[in-house]
Amino acid sequence: MPINHPNLHLTQLAGAIPAWSGNIKPGDLQPICRNVHDGGGRLVALWGSDDREQGNGYSLHIALVNEAGLVCLSLSLPAGQPGYPDVSSIFPVANRMQRATYDLLGIYAHEGQDHRKWLRHGAWHGGSFPLRKDFDPAPSRTDDADNYHFVQVEGQGVHEIAVGPVHAGIIEPGHFRFSVVGEKMLRLEERFGYTHNGIEKRFESMSLQQGARLAGRVSGDSTVAYAWAYAMAAESIAAVTPPERALWLRALFLERERIANHLGDLGYLGNDVALSFGFTQFWILKEQVLRNNGALFGHRYLMDSIIPGGVAADLTDPGKRTLFEECSLLEREVRVLRGIYEEHAGVQDRFIGAGRIEPRLAAQLGLCGLAGRASSQAWDTRVQFPCAPYDQLDVQMATYRNGDVAARVIVRFDELFESLRLQREILARLMPGGELSLPLEKLPAQGFGAGMVEGWRGEVLVAVHTDTDGNLARVHPHDPSWQNWPAVEHAILGNIVPDFPLINKSFNLSYSGQDL
């Protein structure tokens, strides 16, 4: 059993990754979380659901991960007083998730330290909750201002810089409140939720197939990871395994997404330290990857290429040759560019020491993904819980311990080369012929499934609950940005304001992925 606790009875879920689910009582929530935390495990996601139509109240769901796999626990809450014990005192990262769950569903944590709203601004009343099944949008509408209480820093010479939601560059909207003395940053407080589009509510009116398209648009830069995680969750409920060819193609798509995003970020990191040469060079390479995607698979970002049951795009033999040539080109060029970055004194001067997250703090905050690995947090779903075909690929994890911008750049370079190696390996093993998908029209009734995929930014989780007719009752997509955004508030401490864009870019987190 992944977690040893006398009151815990887990059932293993069918599917691609080791995952379990179980029901617990309110009094067991904190001890179990403590148990997982002390064993080195982490909180992946926290969400709620309205189960009143099934004659229950509400439910709180949490997804935990430890060395054995993913554990999804559910806690029934009475409809009258849907409160649950606070998790954020054990996993600090739960803070924003608990607040968002209250804004959307009206279930709340007892004894929590921070009861401010998170995803709600002023578009609907504080007393109405969009994810309740009886939510009526018309009477809930308001046009109130946000009125969010930022923590104020006082003292001689302290002043605030308010940035956003509309930023100076081509960036998603969000608000950053800096408290500074001179150039030095004393505190950063983030305010998000600007791109809240009601994605979770939208899923509830969709078919399984429409849902796959929406999952691919939770955060556009991670479309492959989301589509795969969604498909994995659906396939877990239906207890089916896609054809082998489809699995190899999914891995190919996921690595290509990682390659494209790492190339783009490495270019922008050069640009942010005034080496526009880096932007020009890396974005030429990125454009070639995108053009090959468009020509071979019909979409530059591979949107809608993964569907529940398999894939919707194939690779021909000439296409394979194109990708082998692309691998050679990228390996050769990126090696030259890495040399230039490493030997450029100005670049290294800005990279080294900026935005540092020490490994201890990273562990405390539950930092994940590439930012986590740059601070010694050795988690990579492809390595620890390799779903097919990663179980045959022996992925080498890139880790580094300095936790600064330079470390995140090194991890990106290492992962880029590893993804190119994986792409070669996948192409070599991808045999011609074979089915691309199996029919998966509808899911069994009252099922639950979870999919977890290591996207380029970190682990993407999608949880799917079906209703008594097998329709989507609740879909919760979880972005690794939930884990990593709070860390940016720590990373900037003691740095100067002009280094914020660089530090922020070195994480490159998603706004839409956490705003939902």
Partner 1 sequence: MYQLIKQIIKTGIKTDAAPLPDEALRVTTQRLHEEILHVFGSALNIRHVDAGSCNGCELEIHSLSNAYYNIEGLGIKFVASPRHADMLLVTGPVSRHMVTALRRTFDATPEPKLVVAIGECACNGGIFCSNDGSPDGGGESYASCGRVANVIPVDVVVGGCPPTPTAILQGILTAVSAQKQ
Binding site for partner 1 (CB under 8 A): 121-124, 130, 135, 137, 140-141, 143, 145-146, 165-166, 168-173, 193-199, 201-202, 205, 210, 213-214, 217-221, 223, 264, 277, 279-281, 283-284, 286-287, 290, 294, 300-301, 303, 336-337, 339-340, 343-344, 510-512, 515
Q: 3-class DSSP state for residue 493?
A: coil
Q: Smallest distance from the beta carbon of 500 to partner 1, in angstroms?
A: 14
Q: Smallest distance from the beta carbon of 283 to partner 1, in angstroms?
A: 4
Residues in the chain: 516
Element housing 102 (H / E): helix 94-105
Whose Cβ is closer to partner 1: residue 342's or residue 489's?
Answer: 342
Query: One-letter amino acid identity for 170?
Result: I
Q: Cβ–Cβ contacts within 10 Å for residue 470, how many?
A: 17
Strand partners, 71: 20, 64
Q: Smallest distance from the beta carbon of 435 to partner 1, in angstroms?
A: 27
> Rounded CA gap, 493 and 356, in Å?
9
Do 200 and 475 meet the contact criterion of CB atoms below 8 Å apart? yes
Q: Smallest distance from the beta carbon of 81 to partner 1, in angstroms?
A: 25
Do 386 and 254 meet the contact criterion of CB atoms below 8 Å apart? no
Q: Smallest distance from the beta carbon of 335 to partner 1, in angstroms?
A: 11
Which residues have C-beta within 8 Å of that of residue 38, sequence separation ≥ 6?
none
For residue 482 the two structure tokens come to: 């939930």
Asked if the bond preceding 389 is cis, omega within 30° of 0, the reply is yes
Q: Smallest distance from the beta carbon of 102 to partner 1, in angstroms?
A: 16
Q: Smallest distance from the beta carbon of 366 to partner 1, in angstroms?
A: 23
CA-only gyration radius of the chain, Å: 22
Whose Cβ is closer to partner 1: residue 165's or residue 389's?
Answer: 165
Whose Cβ is closer to partner 1: residue 130's or residue 447's?
Answer: 130
Q: Cβ–Cβ contacts within 10 Å for residue 142, how many?
A: 12
- Give the relative orientation of helices 405-429 and 317-343 as an angle to the nearest 10 degrees: 160
**Side-chain-facing half-sphere of 35: CA atoms under 13 Å:** 14
Q: 3-class DSSP state for residue 473?
A: strand
Element housing 60 (H / E): strand 58-66
| Nearest alpha-carbon partner for 273 in 40, 506, 57 | 506
What ranges make up the beta strands (E) of 214-340? 306-307, 310-311
For residue 153 the two structure tokens come to: 């820093």
Whose Cβ is closer to partner 1: residue 124's or residue 448's?
Answer: 124
Could you give the angle at the alpha carbon of 47 between the alpha carbons of 43 and 49, nearest 5°? 150
Whose Cβ is closer to partner 1: residue 78's or residue 339's?
Answer: 339
Whose Cβ is closer to partner 1: residue 84's or residue 511's?
Answer: 511
Q: Smallest distance from the beta carbon of 417 to partner 1, in angstroms?
A: 18
Q: Smallest distance from the beta carbon of 71 to partner 1, in angstroms?
A: 29
Whose Cβ is closer to partner 1: residue 419's or residue 510's?
Answer: 510
**Cα 120 versus chain centre, distance:** 20
Whose Cβ is closer to partner 1: residue 179's or residue 195's?
Answer: 195
Sign of CA dihedral 282, 303, 443, 437: negative
Sign of CA dihedral 366, 371, 375, 376: positive
Q: 3-class DSSP state for residue 293?
A: helix
Q: Smallest distance from the beta carbon of 428 to partner 1, in angstroms?
A: 29
Pairing mode of beta strands 448-454, 310-311: unpaired
Q: Smallest distance from the beta carbon of 70 to partner 1, in angstroms?
A: 25
Whose Cβ is closer to partner 1: residue 52's or residue 141's?
Answer: 141
Q: Smallest distance from the beta carbon of 501 to partner 1, in angstroms?
A: 11
**What is the residue whose two structure tokens read 């030429």?**
284
What ranges make up the beta strands (E) of 331-381? none
Q: Smallest distance from the beta carbon of 309 to partner 1, in angstroms?
A: 20
Secondary structure (DSSP) of 72-90: EEEEEE-SSS-EEE--TTT
Whose Cβ is closer to partner 1: residue 253's or residue 390's?
Answer: 253
